[in-house]
């Protein structure tokens, strides 16, 4: 992941939540079109969020949660 990727991924949560202005969203969307690595990370994050939402009513084993957090952070840092 290069510096441009890192810059956008610092704001990815806000992007997914629709909290960014149009200009920044357009820049991120353009970057995602050109960067398969970032697209893959974004889709992985979306899947993770969806799984967490589905499991929100169930108790998650602390070990599983810790591994999930590590995997997400590792994906964002590569």
Q: Tens digits of per-residue pLDDT, 9-41?
A: 889 889 988 999 999 999 999 999 999 999 998
- Domains of the chain, residue spans: 3-77
Tokens of residue 53, six digits: 């939402």
Q: Other CB atoms closer than 10 Å to residue 8's CB: what's the count?
A: 21
Give the CA count within 13 Å in the CB-facing half-sphere of 57: 1
Q: Tens digits of per-residue pLDDT, 57-72?
A: 677 788 888 898 888 8
Q: What is the reported pTM?
A: 0.64
């Amino acid at each position: 992941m290069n510096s441009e990727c890192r810059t956008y991924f610092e704001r990815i949560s806000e992007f997914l939540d629709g909290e960014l202005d149009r200009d920044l969203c357009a820049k991120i969307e353009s970057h995602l079109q050109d960067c398969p690595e970032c697209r893959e990370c974004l889709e992985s994050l979306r899947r993770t969020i969806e799984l967490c939402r589905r499991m929100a009513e169930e108790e998650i084993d602390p070990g599983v949660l810790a591994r999930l957090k590590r995997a997400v952070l590792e994906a964002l840092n590569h």
